[in-house]
Chain A
């Protein structure tokens, strides 16, 4: 059931969004994720500027991980581009689901460009939960307040991770670097509830490691497309069996 909130004005709604972001469960999650990302960026030789710009302009942690490790390991750019493009597909249905909630009769398409850019998993989940319970004319302000806060927090914590990685003794720097792969593995596993997602996750791990060990060119493409296609086929067979 959507919670209901009411505000006196759009600026009050904006501040409401800010406050909601700061107290939401996603705040510490985002902090931890971006501390790890910052450490990763430092380790792969990228600048703090690059990190912050990527947080603001890409605004998608999985894509940022792919970019950072791709640039850092000198991977073929076509491979990185394909991987990022595929990872970003999920943004499309998220925007489609969210924008009708924000849009009012007087909203122009150009007004929605910022909320569209701001769309990311945490902000999307919170918006879908909170927006239905508030007056339509305040929703965009709330959503923007939420997004700006998340993005600012991500940028700040990214820098925290970046400079911690630079300054900490090796053991702690290692632990910092471990955050990204560990947390991504676990959170992907947590949201992988279907056969499709679980098999894809497992195959991605196994094939990705194997092909990299064998120094195959475009290993991520092969393990991704191969593993993903296999998972897709397994899922189809599973569903066909369930229907029979």
Chain B
């Protein structure tokens, strides 16, 4: 079984597209659509990497990232933030909270796939 990527995103068609391209590249992709229960999902089965949307129902991706970095079990999991908000202040906030990468929508499939591939193989 390949390394596990958890995609926390609420747009069904984006979930399907990213899941497809990463699965085809050999990763095991788990998905979750709700911000409120996202930490529970991570703790139940810590993944090797998280792709985290910022605007989620219930709770923002920034809040989830803050919790991830404050929790022993999850503090070292690589996180790539994915958001429609590409403003510099959001990028800075993500970096300050400990995101490993920040990607804005609309993203390129190749960019997502290559980043995950390179990060996991590093």
Real binding pair: no
> Which residues does A use to contact B, with CB under 8 Å?
none
